[in-house]
Amino acid sequence: MDSSDYNPTPHVIPEGENATPLEVVGGDCTATEKLIIIMCGLPATGKTHIGNRIARYVSFFLDIQTKIFNVGDYRRELFGASLPAEFFDHSNKENMAKREQACDAALSDLVDYMKQDGVRVGILDSTNSSRKRRAHIRHVLQKENKLKCKIIVLESVVDKKEVIEQNVRFIKRNAPDYEGKDEKEAMEDFHKRREMYMNVYEPVDESDGSHIKVINNQTFVVHNTGGYLPQKVVHFVMNLHSHPRVFYLSRHGQSEYNLLGKIGGDAGLTDAGLEYARRLAVFANDVVGKQVIKDDETGEEKKVSRPARLWTSTLRRTKETAQFIKKEVITTQKWDNGEELEWIQFQGRTRRNLDELYAGVCDGLTYAEIAEKFPEEFQRRQEDKLTYRYPRGESYMDVTLRLETIVLDIERTREPILIVGHQGIHRLLYAYFMGLPRDQAPFVSIPLNTVIELTPHAYGCDEKRYVLLSKEELLKDGQDEPVTSMPMKEMAENTQKKSSG
């Protein structure tokens, strides 16, 4: 029977047959809801880090257009980056006027941005240290009747000396204000700047309206904050911390299906895959599970063990890749509450959400067989890899949904994590942390036999790649995924160059 006989008026989604409805991520319930977040807090409390993480999460997982307006960027553009700490003296009226000029310029651009169709979230990143300044910002936003935005003040409070010092050292290394400056001078200048703000700082309270107060990334005060978007932000922020962290992405070793060019399945490893697994175990012990510490008195450096985690998918090839990694008890780990316990190094955690994108009826086929058996499906995938869904299978969009909980776990975890997963999974994780648009994720280069080290921070994410088994050591790696056709081909090639360069 022809489908037109029993379904003459089918439900057709605009993204095309077997595609993922884009509104699955974001949801119709928020299509008109707009949110402005006003960051607040002393320097070295992680405001920029929190703001950037929120923007990344909202845009990638909720598919909501978001932009940060950093007042420091406006100040540097107007008055230069090399400004002494005295510039931030609140008793200096001339400099205060300049700083207010930078803030108002950022605020004006924020208002213009939020007026645009399709724009949903804007973030004003600054110290906003006084109630007067915060009241002025709220007044400007509220008088713009067309905005109809919810406004939340997000205050970051850090009163632990060791955390402040850690943040100051990071800012000295990465902040644009101190680029190329002497380390000692930069540290002294920043501490003076921070003291200038401390002299006039007024904590957020109920007079600031809806607000979220984050205290040492341990205590959270949420006041009069309701609605879908604000609650998503609250939940996300409660998973963040500002401690330095690093994690490692590794595909499984070469599988029997890789060798044959088949996709999906649950095959075991080839001999080459097992060799990679052995080398990965050495890497895990020597790199992931170790850190270099420096003796303050002698300056001598030495490697010591550090607690590390291991995650795999439920599929055979990832578990076999992790099988040689040693799981031994190391020195006790002390938590924030003072509790001490023995740490089992690389105690494996198997996670269903890390399983490879499911190819449905195409599972176990080569791309050539898919082109022959399902030519229309093959062409649809070539035209739009992001939203294309295999018949009875998944799309990259579907996988994005189940990776949200994984990302939240990565965001809140402090120990290094070695994630042994799959190409499709790591493409999305890499794109999220490296700040790539979602539509570029399906084209990221995630080769076999390579570990990708990612170090997220307030101003982006650093990357380093380790090749543990070269292609010259393999007779065939089976990586013959077809180059996506136009109009996506150029995007695919550019993304692969960026992620492999």
Known catalytic residues are 125, 252, 356
Contacts of 259 by beta carbon, 8 Å cutoff, 6+ apart: 270, 476, 477, 478
Query: Looking at beta carbons, which pairs linking 187-192 to residues 24 or more positions away fall under 8 Å?
Result: 189/84, 189/85, 190/43, 190/44, 190/85, 192/85, 192/86
- C-beta separation of 217 from 154 below 8 A: no
Q: Please give the backbone phi and psi of residue 351, each rounded to the nearest 5 degrees, phi first.
A: -130, 120
- C-beta separation of 297 from 406 below 8 A: no
Report strand pairing: 329-334 vs 340-344: antiparallel
d(CA 180, CA 163): 24
For the packed helices 183-198 and 161-174, what is the interaxial angle rounded to 10 degrees? 120
Q: Find how far residue 376's CA is from the centre of its chain.
A: 35
Return the H-helix or E-strand segment holding 183: helix 183-198
Residues linked to residue 45 through DSSP beta bridges, in sequence order: none
Question: What phi-psi label fits residue 262: left (phi over 0), alpha (psi between -120 and 50 degrees) or beta?
Answer: beta
d(CA 106, CA 38): 12
